[in-house]
Copies of this chain bind each other. A is one copy, B any other.
Amino acid sequence: MPKAAPSFGLILPPKDPGEPSYRWLYAALRLEILQGRLLPGARLPSTRDLAAQYGLARGTVVNAFEQLKSEGYIDGSLGSGTYVGKILPESLLQVAYRDIAKPAAERAAQTRRPATLSDYGRRAKLFRNYENRPTRAFRANLPALDLFPVALWTKITQRSLGRISTHQLMGGDPLGYLALRQAVAEYLKSRGVSCQPQQVMIVSGVQQALDLTARLLVNPGDRVCVENPGYSGAVQVFQALGAKIVAAGIDDQGISIRRLPSKAVRLIYVTPGHQFPLGTTMSLARRLALLEWARKSGAVIFEDDYDGEFRYAGRPIPALQGLDTSGAVIYAGSFSKVLFPSLRLGYLVIPSHLLPHFEAIQSLTCRHAPLLEQLALTAFINEGHFGRHLRHMRQVYAERLSVLLEETRRRLAGLLEIRGVEAGLQTVGWLQDGLAAEAAALAAAKRNVQVTPLARVSQGSALPGRAFPGGAGLEALQLGFAAVEAKEIRRGVRELAIALEGERKASA
């Protein structure tokens, strides 16, 4: 029979069901040491005594001691006695570790003085774009995801993975998978983009494209021009980098050149194909004037062709990039609107002289886009599925748009007006008769209709030099139609009519 062990006073907390016994004992002993209840130099009971005292298997105690030893908490060897190590600074024991016994959740919530953020860190604000709600009238900026051929995509993904080489598992080129860059360059011909595959860089989407471009070109305090109203995701990137934002209004030709500074502009962000959010297509004359202005002012033009694939009337207007002969245009597009947003793939077309810099920044900040998606997308494009899906979606969206236009004419006359729509996944409804956008959106929401006041999607009055054509203000609503089925569009218009009628009566 073992003799009675000297009382040791270790408190063993309740054990987690899945936790190995030795880890449990180890953690309890470690805590005693870190909290100074077992002092440096103190002798521990023998493994045999400890096992007996706490009803543990001896192997459990041996393993716990081994672990503590390997981490430097205790010294000594079996047989010659085991001692608490003399390695812990006194100050630590008293100051920092008194809280280690608190539950992890509680400890995690604790903060010393919060870390000091960089200037960028203080300026960077959450860009709320993701909305995990069922699609209803008139959700904007979203394609009809229920029509995406998931089964086909699965088959192609499976095949791409089946053929993946060990080299491809290793990593990839910062600029992207060459075959995809070739496929993108070929595809972009139809959009009037003039480029070599080498100039195409694969990115995670327009958001990353904006960030990389702005980091590469813009110092804090530098001027960046944007459209007003315009895409707030871009403005937030520039603001976070400390750029001086200069906003110029939109007229029926596109961005108003006359108001732009004539020099020392680093970057201008434009949406010539389908102005976000107004929907204007930039005229040829304005495109040429913009290029001429860029030449003089030194600005690089960032052309965001975010939904250039969807045009329902007329033929697509070739990209600004294709008119440029001076290497002043960076062209960006994404697969979020044609395929699906959580794919996170897009592309940049970059003037040759800037390519090495984009390659460097990509290698430093994320290495490259994931390869599997790039392989699958390459096959999807090259086998013609991309073109087919795009044509199908164009047809579906054109039908949905015509339902929206017809219903709006029938039921919303005098309340809301939609002007010429030629492209995109959403359009703008201009409120009539003095109706206010915020109140209208609220009234619509009560009838389960989602419409966003234009001022909210566009930084509106937050920008200096708020310049809106004709003094009309932004009493308008963004109306998405691409992701909304015809039946739901009809319901949406009916409900919106009731909501707006109510608003008109209330304000009369």
Asked if residues A284 and B373 are in contact (CB atoms below 8 Å), the reply is no
- Knowing A161-B153, A342-B370, the reply to whether A116 touches B240 (Cβ < 8 A) is no
Chain B residue numbers with a CB within 8 Å of A46 are none
Q: Do B340 and A169 have beta carbons less than 8 Å apart?
A: yes
Asked whether B315 lies within 8 Å of A67 as measured between CB atoms, the reply is yes
Q: Mark A102-135, 1 if CB is under 8 A from B, else 0.
A: 0011011111101111111100111111111001
Chain B proximity of A67: nearest CB distance (Å):
5
Q: Does A92 make an interface contact (CB < 8 A)? A: yes
CB <8 Å contact, B284 and A107? no
State the number of copies, please: 2
Is the CB–CB distance between A364 and B161 below 8 Å? no
Q: How far is the CA of A164 from the CA of B345 in the complex (A)?
A: 18
Most buried by B among A108, A168, A237: A108
Q: Does A472 sit at the interface, judged by CB under 8 A?
A: no
The answer to the question of A60 belonging to the interface, with a C-beta cut-off of 8 Å to chain B, is: no
**Partner pick for A157 among B107, B118, B145, B158, CB 8 A cutoff:** B158
Q: Which of B120, B158, B211 contacts A366 (CB 8 A)?
A: B211
Complex CA distance for A114 and B108, rounded to whole angstroms:
49
Interface size on A, residues (CB 8 A): 131
Contact of A150 among B161, B344, B361, B370 (CB under 8 A): B161
Extra inter-chain contacts (14) besides given A108-B196, A121-B215, A124-B364, CB under 8 Å:
A85-B285, A111-B327, A112-B295, A114-B353, A115-B298, A115-B354, A121-B357, A124-B361, A126-B174, A126-B359, A126-B364, A131-B170, A157-B158, A204-B370
Of the A-B pairs whose beta carbons lie under 8 Å apart in the complex, a sample of 24, sorted by A's number, is A70-B317, A105-B196, A108-B195, A112-B326, A115-B298, A118-B216, A118-B266, A121-B217, A121-B357, A124-B357, A124-B360, A130-B174, A132-B167, A135-B166, A142-B170, A145-B166, A145-B170, A170-B340, A171-B341, A171-B342, A342-B371, A342-B372, A366-B366, A370-B373
